[in-house]
Amino acid sequence: MSAPRHLSGNYAPVTEELTSFDLSVTGRIPDELSGWYLRNGPNPADAASGHWFFGYGMVHGVRLEGGRAVSYRNRWVRTRSLTEGARAFDRDGRRDLTAGPANTHVIRHAGRTLALVETALPYELTCDLDTVGPYDFDGRLRTAMTAHTRTCPTTGELHFFGYGITEGPFLTYHRADASGELVISRPVEVPGPTMMHDFALTAEHVVFMDLPVVFDADLVGGTMPYRWDDGYGARLGVLRRDDPYGRVRWFPIDPCYVFHQLNAYDAADGTIVLHVMRYPELWRRGADGSVDRSQEATLWKWTVDPVRGTVAEEQCDDRPGEFPRVDDRLTGLRAAFGHATCGDALVRYDLRTGGSTAHEFGPGRTPGEAVFAPARPAGTDGAADSDGPGWLMTYVHDAATDRSDLVVLDADDLTAPPVATVHLPARVPYGFHGSWLPDLP
């Protein structure tokens, strides 16, 4: 019997932790790039893993400095699930928030590097990717923490949420200040336990996506315990940032699912604009228990009008894609450009004109999520809502060699050949999300 798709090809896990120095480079790494590119992803420890999402976290990192690719290293996130076999619920039925794979994202805030998964607490890592342990904001965080946090570029605050599975509150909004102190935790009432993977932040608002993919306890054990629910409905919840304990206003939208939003901002006319990668539906189950996996995401624009109480929905592109990213310095502001991975191409969307350009990596070369690395520090590019020059970096798997590269592209000229291709000593399996962590001044 052949291995399941999530355990074969470039989904297959790697078993070695490596450290390699002075990596070979084709092209030239820009001198301005000094820091770590880190990316997290699921790496099953054995063949018993029932779904790609269940693999234990492994972070792959490349150190760039002085025009050189100084080193590569990959390390397991040594969660209690990996090292002790800890389970999400103990024998008394209590939830163990330290028992999670920490396999979805890796970020830095207030000097801490955190590996994230939406079902548990984050795990703190050292600069060398060694695991420090679970992090609960000095005991103040009592829910899981989403893998998709948002750092406000103006205040330095970290915004995030946690969702409940078997009991309420099914949604809790959190905010940590720039120093890393958790200062706000407030429940938000929703009808039931949905898989709320992402949310949006603007300069003035937090936007939640309450969508019809719901937890189903009968599906627990070996597969994703979620399913499409025609009766749940779909809506966006808007909370004012200056009134974090105030009313959440809900706006109905057409049923759909969104794993990832690109960005959001407050428009001059008082509306709130979001760009998202939208699935028409997700994980609809047939009478025989089979799951429809044919749906794909495309870029859409939602415009929320708080005065009229409406949401205008507009499809922006018909190319299937995922992993949308924007220059993180423009989180919650009006960015001119966004990027998404579409098959063997990386697409740069002009969010003002609706146009796009693409970098085609070629047959058998598959990119992952691309992260933007600015050419200049924050605050040096003029207006707050202007996109400055920079680079896009992503791991690319080559099926012909079964090896991986870190590819650096000029964000302003995606059709050009790569600025630099860093040849890695090992294959980097497909994964989820990462960050460019520039050296701190």
Whether 64 and 83 have beta carbons less than 8 Å apart is answered as no
Domain ranges of the chain: 155-316
- E strands along 267-376, which residues? 272-279, 298-305, 310-315, 322-325, 337-342, 345-350, 356-360, 365-367, 371-374
Give the phi and the psi of residue 103 in degrees, each rounded to 5. Answer: -120, 10
pTM for this model (two decimals): 0.95
- Which string of b and e fits 167-206 if b means at least 16 CB within 10 Å? eebbbbbbbbeeeeebeebbebebeebbbbbbbbbbbebb
Q: Which alpha helices (H) appear in 33-86, and where do they start and end?
A: 80-84
Cα(47)–Cα(167) distance, integer angstroms: 31
Tens digits of pLDDT across the chain (441 residues): 566 766 778 999 999 999 999 999 999 999 999 999 999 999 987 656 667 788 899 999 999 999 999 999 999 999 999 999 888 766 565 778 999 999 999 999 999 999 999 999 999 999 999 999 999 999 999 999 999 999 999 999 999 999 988 877 999 999 999 999 999 999 999 999 999 999 999 999 999 999 999 988 777 766 778 889 999 999 999 999 999 999 999 999 999 999 999 999 999 999 999 999 999 999 888 887 788 888 999 999 999 999 999 999 999 999 999 999 999 999 999 999 999 999 999 999 999 999 999 999 999 999 999 999 999 764 444 334 457 799 999 999 999 999 999 999 999 999 999 999 999 999 999 999 999 999 987
Residue 378 vs residues 30, 50, 64, 314, 385: alpha-carbon distances, Å: 18, 43, 19, 32, 11
The DSSP 8-state label assigned to residue 285 in this structure reads: B
Q: Which alpha helices (H) appear in 97-197, and where do they start and end?
A: none
